Amino acid sequence: MKILLAEDDRVSRLLMQRILERFGYEVILAEDGRQAVEILSRTDAPRLALVDWMMPELDGIALCREVRGRQQDGHYVYLLLLTSKQNSEDIVAGLEAGADDYITKPCQPAELRARLHTGRRILSLEEKLIEAREEMRFRATRDALTVLWNRASILAMLRSELERSSRERKSVSILLCDLDHFKHVNDNHGHLIGDMVLQEVATRLTASVRGYDAVGRYGGEEFLIVLGNCDHSDLEARSEEIRNAIASTPIQTGGAALCVSISIGAVTCGEAEAAIPIERILARADAAMYRAKAEGRNRTAFADPFVIA
């Protein structure tokens, strides 16, 4: 594990470096407080820092304050102050400035190792908490079966794109896609095969859009695609690419190759339409999708332009 050693005295720095390397740390050196702050501001910064209290440029207290002031959503840095001060008021000042712990000079290697080990335990706990938070966030925003954005998340993204469309005077298009005859898949092959089909369709839809577009499971066998910066002139080609991504190749389910297609209802919203309630926009896409089904399925139907009063 990497550790930052900030110490301006060359002899002390060399002795402490040897001790830390003997403990198994990869030591990153800083000769003053300002250099230490710059190192700790990097994306690959050490998570542990052993900082001398008295240094040029920035002393240990000022360093702690600046590191804590810069630290927002990044990983936590465990700061251990190395000091010859014994006064409790000084120690309290260091801890209140953002230091996690302190050790007095001259320090005993065994005590230093133990205090650093405490820091590592705290950092390990933080990593587990971050992982748990991210897992909860993932579960709250993703559909469990397809791993696409869930209904609430894709609708939130649509709202965001409509707001951006209004600000930047650009168009946004949406595609409401429904799997054709999906009930027959479940009835004839079982729900496990139906789940496999939904997962493969989700994979193909994601692969057929740009990185900044969004694909979500709208419900059941329906999918909602939000295409940012896509006007009506681009929409026909884009929707055809997406439709063809599903229909062109049968889906291999282990026991059978299933030919699957989607019917698409397409709507484009420009700057003027961005203020229309999202329910009206979705209703227009839904009506177009049912028209695509009525016209024979495996096709795109484009909604009529909105009439802005």
Catalytic residue IDs: 221
Quick one: angle between helices 232-247 and 191-207, nearest 10?
140
Three-state secondary structure call for residue 105: coil
Residue length of the chain: 309
Three-state secondary structure call for residue 41: coil
Three-state secondary structure call for residue 230: coil
In sequence order, the β-bridge partners of residue 44 are none
- The CA angle 152-224-243, to the nearest 5 degrees, is 165
The residues near 50 (Cβ < 8 Å, ≥ 6 apart) are: 3, 4, 5, 6, 7, 16, 20, 80, 82, 116
Nearest Cα residue to 245 out of 268, 261, 231 = 261
The residues near 33 (Cβ < 8 Å, ≥ 6 apart) are: 6, 51, 55, 56, 57, 58, 59, 60, 62, 63
Structure-block tokens of residue 126:
């933080």
Structure-block tokens of residue 165:
């469309």
